[in-house]
Each structure stands twice: as C-alpha cells, then as structure tokens.
Amino acid sequence: MNEESLRILIREKLASGLLPGHDCTKILGGPSNGETCDACGETLAKSQLVMECIGEHYPKALQFHVRCFYIWDSERGTPGAEPTE
C-alpha cells in the first residue's frame, strides 16, 4: 500500500474510532510473530518488527508495522486531537 493510501486508511480509522487517537501509555517493539497490523490489516512477516501500543482503555495491545505506527502516531497528533486533513 502506498503511503498516501495508508494515511487515508489510518485517518478513517481514527475518525471512526477503530484506532484510538490517545491513551497510549506504553510503547513496545520487538520481533513479529505473524500478528495482524491494526492500522493496515496486513499480516506482519516474522522477519519484521512489531510495534505495540498499550493503553488503559484498549481491550488488547494495538499492533503495528513500524511504518504504520509512525504514520498513526503522526496522524493522531496531540491527545484528543482530530486527525489531520
């Protein structure tokens, strides 16, 4: 997926509440076990790193490709902010 399409998808998930825009209290990174990325929906290869975001109000840790994590982090902006246009 190209970067602009990924940004649009992440913005839509932020706007709909499928991805949170705040409350990430702990961020971890490590080897993937074949998780599904919460941003793009694709499976992480076992050769990739997974970024995990843990928050008090999440039913489970959010899991991202490194690239998807950075885009999500930039699009979510400050806590409670609306996604950028």
Segment 26-77, tens digit of pLDDT? 999 999 999 999 999 999 999 999 999 998 877 789 999 999 999 999 998 7
Do 76 and 64 touch, CB atoms closer than 8 A?
no
Q: Which residues contact 68 (CB under 8 A, 6 or more apart)?
A: 6, 10, 37, 39, 40, 51
Residue 25 lies in domain: 3-76
In a domain, residue 42? The reply is yes
Helix or strand (DSSP H, E) at 70: helix 66-76
Residue type, 13: K
For residue 82 the two structure tokens come to 């609306």
CATH number (domain holding residue 27): 3.30.1740
pLDDT of residue 56: 82
Total structural domains in the chain?
1
Q: What is the mean pLDDT of residues 5-16?
A: 95
In a domain, residue 19? The reply is yes
